[in-house]
Amino acid sequence: KNEVEQSPQNLTAQEGEFITINCSYSVGISALHWLQQHPGGGIVSLFMLSSGKKKHGRLIATINIQEKHSSLHITASHPRDSAVYICAVETYNTDKLIFGTGTRLQVFP
């Protein structure tokens, strides 16, 4: 079993829909990152969380440390949100990240 699991693996939506992507982890963490990867492109950091909730534009990220779970929400989704969203965790006392396999999101007009 992977230490970082994302669900769903693939997600399709109509423009305007509310999107939720989930990340569960089985290790103790000091922080969690949400990343975005467009097709054929590089990877961009969206959020870094160690507790609570963060919001940037239409994107909201939450984390529940006790339940070892994080969610990334996209409100009023748009075709330009189509990308792979990757969850990664930092563990205590190491200098390495553990990555999930990503959630592929396609938003249709």
Partner 1 sequence: NAGVTQTPKFQVLKTGQSMTLQCAQDMNHEYMSWYRQDPGMGLRLIHYSVGAGITDQGEVPNGYNVSRSTTEDFPLRLLSAAPSQTSVYFCASRPNFAVGNTIYFGEGSWLTVV
For the CB of residue 90, give the shortest distance to partner 1 in the complex, in Å: 7
What the block records as the tokens of 22 is 């989930």
Binding region for partner 1 (CB under 8 A): 2, 4, 30-31, 33, 35, 41-45, 48, 50, 86, 88, 90, 95-102
Please identify, using beta-carbon distances, which residue of 38 and 78 lies nearer to partner 1: 38
How far apart (Å, rounded) are the C-alpha atoms in residues 28 and 44?
Answer: 24
- One DSSP character per residue, 18-64 reads -EEEEEEE-S-EEEEEEEEE-TTS-EEEEEEESSEEEEETTEEEEEE
For the CB of residue 63, give the shortest distance to partner 1 in the complex, in Å: 13
For the CB of residue 108, give the shortest distance to partner 1 in the complex, in Å: 23
